[in-house]
Amino acid sequence: MDVPFVTTPPAVTEAMLDIAGVGPKDFVLDLGSGDGRIVILAAKQRGARGMGVEIDPALVARSRQFARQAGVHERAEFREQDLFVTDLTPATVITMYLLPDVNMALRPKLLALKPGTRVVSHDWGMGDWRPDRERRVAAPEKTLGLDKSSRVMMWTVPARYDGHWCAVSKSGAELILRQTFQQVEGELMQAKKTHVLLGRVEGSILRLSQLAAAELRDGILVFESASGPGGITRWRRATGACG
């Protein structure tokens, strides 16, 4: 899939890094990096490390030159490479200005990344995977289209909590969770009663209704306090009947 090179306006570049909260501990991977401006800005202004991948050798050479001129060439790497064969796993933040069909082709790989990885896209979404945050940015110098503004979206890769869970206490309580991207719904079955639950996954953290946050610890779903479902704080994935 070929993606044309269209420059990202400076205000949009800033917004993409800002919406993801890029800082010195981050590794920014820019897919289809063009002239390298996103990775270079992340390194120069935010102290991050990063890499851009781009199939046009002339743009890769230009990016390397700009990185040297900016004094960040030791923290900003550029490779002539197909983004579809690129290892995405080192990234804490992935940025892209691609096309809708390319975004959708990448989506399975993005969802398989470490929970908490931030994905930022300029203008184009991810189908029915709705962004966690979105911003409209004025871009009067934008060369593509008639609308002189840009849409900046960010997703946080969610951990997987869907499935059947049993209370570790062997009380017979059961938790059924169904997850669609970051949205969760399910039921708590306890003492012959069923309670409907709604929730959301925020990176590695699960929140059910108004309950305290929970996360996986050594394969056990642990809520912060006794405000877990039915007052139960520890759950394990079911391997058979609960109880």
pLDDT(2) > 60: no
Residues 98 and 52 in one domain: yes
Looking at the structure, tell me whether residues 124 and 31 fall in a common domain: yes
- What is the token pair recorded at 221? 């779903």
- Sequence-separated (6 or more) residues with CB below 8 Å from residue 236: 165, 166, 168, 219, 220, 221
What pLDDT score was predicted for residue 26? 98
Q: What average pLDDT does the segment 143-165 reach?
A: 86
Residue 243: the pLDDT is: 75
Return the bridge partners of 201, or none.
206
pLDDT exceeds 60 at position 220:
yes
pLDDT at 210 over 70: no
156, 178, 195 — which closes off a domain? 156
**What is the 8-class DSSP label of residue 196?**
E
Inter-residue contact 214 to 203 (CB < 8 Å): no
pLDDT tens for 80-107 read 999 999 999 999 999 999 999 999 999 9
Question: Do residue 20 and residue 51 come from a single domain?
Answer: yes
Q: Looking at the 3D structure of the chain, how many domains does it have?
A: 2
Q: Is the pLDDT of residue 65 over 90?
A: yes
pTM: 0.90
Averaged pLDDT for residues 29-35: 96
**Which CA distances in Å does 232 have to 165, 172, 209, 229?**
12, 11, 15, 6
Same domain, 115 and 225: no
218 assigned to some structural domain: yes
From 156, 177, 205, the end of a domain falls on 156
Give the mean pLDDT of the chain. Answer: 92
Does 89 fall in a domain? yes
- Whether 171 is covered by a domain: the verdict is yes
Please give the residue range of the domain that contains residue 192: 163-237
Q: Phi, psi (5° rounding) for residue 77?
A: -105, 150
- CA torsion sign, 124 to 129 to 133 to 136? positive
Least confident span in 26-35, 132-141, 190-199: 132-141
Residue 47 domain-assigned (yes or no): yes
The verdict on residue 243 lying in a domain is no
pLDDT at 110 (0 to 100):
98
In a domain, 4, yes or no: no
Q: Give me the CATH number covering residue 145.
A: 3.40.50.150
Please give the C-alpha separations between residue 95 and each of 103, 203, 218, 242, in angstroms, as whole numbers.
11, 17, 31, 43
- The domain that holds 197 is classified in CATH as 2.40.128
Is there a domain that residue 228 lies in?
yes
- pLDDT at position 170, please? 85
Which burial class, exposed, middle or buried, applies to 193 when counting CB atoms under 10 A from its CB (0-12, 13-18, 19+)? Answer: exposed
Residues 132 and 231 placed together within one structural domain of the fold = no
